[in-house]
Amino acid sequence: GQQLNQSPQSMFIQEGEDVSMNCTSSSIFNTWLWYKQDPGEGPVLLIALYKAGELTSNGRLTAQFGITRKDSFLNISASIPSDVGIYFCAGQLNNYGQNFVFGPGTRLSVLP
Amino acid sequence: NAGVTQTPKFRILKIGQSMTLQCAQDMNHNYMYWYRQDPGMGLKLIYYSVGAGITDKGEVPNGYNVSRSTTEDFPLRLELAAPSQTSVYFCASSYTLYRDRGLGGYTFGSGTRLTVV
């Protein structure tokens, strides 16, 4: 099946630092989603991207749909303690609301 | 607005036992999904449904069954529990993804943590 790779697997940063993480695949996707999962909770959608090259922000979060359609990036500016969690990317091959492929996640820890 | 509700939150099963994980959504979403999440792994799709009466297998369907008799409910059945089914199970729902509706992605429940011993 399709596979997504996320890097880094985990990261420890100081509060206030900026964070960058990415998601890559050997397949072309039509939609990219970024989710955050807090401990003991289900993933929550952060940003949805629908078009190659698209750059979308949600507060301190910015995500981009790669030009090749095989990757996506998520940046978090001025990190705060509540940014701690696992960040998942998910890609979709078609536009009809069916199955997404999820990456293994990037675990973010923010040190005070 | 409750969103996606999963019950139970935790369960311990003995090998060979059966159980049903419940999932209900009140958003009138037509698509519903069951995923499992193993430690350090992404979400793996077990089954999904595009509407009442229609279900289909995902990536890891073996050992599970589903039904979708109503739009709101999508229960997941484990018939003969095995240790390999120890995982966290997430139910999700969505509309179809049309950008002009401003809709995107899934709404997830808070998960059911299942341990099979």
Q: How confident is chain B (117 residues) per 10-residue block, as mean pLDDT? A: 90 96 93 89 88 90 96 96 96 68 71 96
Q: For residue B53, give how far its alpha carbon lies from the nearest alpha carbon of chain A (Å).
A: 16
Cis peptide before A8 (omega within 30 of 0): yes
Q: What is the pLDDT of residue B96?
A: 63
- The answer to whether residues B105 and B1 touch, using CB atoms and an 8 Å cutoff, is no
Interface of A with B in 17-76 (CB under 8 A): 31, 33, 35, 40-45, 48, 50
Q: What is the pLDDT of residue B115?
A: 96
Instruction: Give Cα B9 to chain centroid, integer Å.
Output: 13
| List of chain B residues whose C-beta atoms are within 8 Å of the C-beta of residue A95 | 97-98
Among A81-90, A97-106, B33-42, the minimum mean pLDDT is found in A97-106
Instruction: Give Cα B2 to chain centroid, integer Å.
Output: 16
Q: What is the pLDDT of residue B31?
A: 87
- The answer to whether residues B65 and B80 touch, using CB atoms and an 8 Å cutoff, is no
Q: H or E stretch including B19?
A: strand B19-25
Nearest to A104 among B40, B106, B109 (CB): B40
Nearest-angstrom CA–CA distance, A42 and A85 = 11
User: Residue B59: closest CA among chain A residues belongs to which residue?
Assistant: A1
Q: What is the pLDDT of residue A81?
A: 94
User: Residue A1: closest CA among chain B residues belongs to which residue?
Assistant: B59
Structure tokens at B93: 């729902």
At A50, the pLDDT band (50, 70, 90 cuts) reads confident
Adjacent-strand bridge partners of B115: B12
Q: What is the pLDDT of residue A99?
A: 67
Average pLDDT over residues A47-67: 93
